[in-house]
Amino acid sequence: MFESKLPKVGNSIFSEMSALANKHEAVNLAQGFPEFIIHPELKTALIEGVDENQVQYAPMPGRQDLRDAIADKILKQRNIRVDANTEITVTAGATQAIYTVFAATLNPGDEVVLFDPAYDCYDPSIRLNGGIPIHLNLTFPSFKIDWEELNTVLNSKTKMIVINNPHNPSGSVLTAEDLFELEKLIDAYPQLMILSDEVYEHIQYNTPHQSILENEKLRDRSFVVYSFGKSMHVTGWKLGYCVAPENYTVEFRKVHQYLIFCANNTIQFAVAKFLNQREDWRNNLPLFQGKKELFLSAIKNSRFKIIPCEGTYFCLLDYADISNKSDVDFAKELTIKYGIATIPISVFYEDETDNRLIRICFAKKDETLLNAARILCKI
């Protein structure tokens, strides 16, 4: 028997809560996948990919037509030119891209700063590649970065800062002022890099999304990760991409080629064709704005307090007026007793901070959201 590299890691909370939801036939607002039918033109493009025998290995960095389509999208969306050949790599989802960044850049003892509640793949990926995660808690209840606290932990061993914007699970977003603070850190620590997880870029409600790509100084020191699963409602396709300066991309691809070599060719074909046919990503914001408003309006008379959601298709609910139970126990009770599955937030904290919050996903059909709201209003 060998010694575990991740002795404290078991099944993820998403697997646990989804299994519990299935067992008790609960309304599942736990796992973050859209409950929508694939766009007909995207489905047709996938079938065409099979019919045209686009089923062998794709080029290692990604199909040329897809990388060109991504570069064109970024130009239309942000008026930024990204080199499709030297700065874009297509990956098997954002999670693989994130792991590849750590594998390509970290040496034993390198420190990586995370902000809790942090998405659950960051910490183990850092540890598996010899890095040391440094966890800082976002301020509560605004879930903003405490820049003064961050300055106290930075040192010559700090290799990277990970940001997630919009932020999962809290729904908070970064401002132009936040990017200015990052700029100052880049100037002060020449070894420092940024990993910017921007998979929910198209779902930001009240202000324009602040991408690292729009800041030239930060872009030169950053890996920026995106996902088609979120914008096209096909999370099971596991297709994403990483944008980085050429010298970073060279190192990224050295690892990428030995992790997966290439992402699924048929799906790349379909996504490239769909991107070239229509700018459907522009429809995400009104869609999710409507879902958010529908759900929050339906639970406004419940005993839950709503934490403001500025981005993503998640919302946090405060149940402190309902129960003294831990968030994990309360989430399980909701599933078993009331038939609604959610995600407790303490599992996203290294120190298991429990603010009595649960996360719900509102990327669901109207009937699913209204059914869930009826349940919540009775508690």
CB burial of residue 55 (10 Å; 0-12, 13-18, 19+): exposed
pLDDT for 10 beyond 80: no
- C-alpha distances in Å from residue 262, one per residue of 101, 243, 325, 355: 16, 16, 46, 41
Q: What is the pLDDT of residues 132-173, one digit of tens each?
A: 999 999 999 999 999 999 999 999 999 999 999 999 999 999
Displacement of CA 17 from its chain's centroid (Å): 19
Q: pTM for the complete prediction? A: 0.96
Mean pLDDT for 10-24 is 84
The span from the CA of 372 to the CA of 352, in Å, is 27
With contact defined as beta carbons under 8 Å apart, do 38 and 32 qualify?
no
Q: Strand 111-116 vs strand 158-164: parallel, antiparallel, or unpaired?
A: parallel
- Which string of DSSP letters, residue by residue, matches 188-204? H-TT-EEEEE-TTTT-B
pLDDT exceeds 80 at position 1: no
Q: DSSP assignment of 92-145, as one string?
A: SHHHHHHHHHHHHH--TT-EEEEEES--TTHHHHHHHTT-EEEEEEPPTTT---
Q: What is the pLDDT of residues 170-224, one digit of tens each?
A: 999 999 999 999 999 999 999 999 999 999 999 999 999 999 999 999 999 999 9
* CA–CA gap between residue 217 and residue 225 (Å, rounded): 17
| Domains and their CATH numbers in the chain | 13-31+282-377 (3.90.1150.10), 40-278 (3.40.640.10)
- What's the mean pLDDT in 68-75? 98
* Confidence band of 12 (pLDDT split at 50, 70, 90): confident
Q: Which of 271, 285, 290, 261 is nearest to 369 (CA)?
A: 290
Q: For residue range 36-70, what is the model confidence (pLDDT) as tens digits? A: 999 999 999 999 999 999 999 999 999 999 999 99
pLDDT digits (tens, 9 = 90+) for 77-112: 999 999 999 999 999 999 999 999 999 999 999 999
| CA separation for the pair 287, 283 (Å, rounded) | 6
Q: Is the pLDDT of residue 254 over 90?
A: yes
Would the pLDDT of 17 be above 90?
no
Amino acid type, 160: M
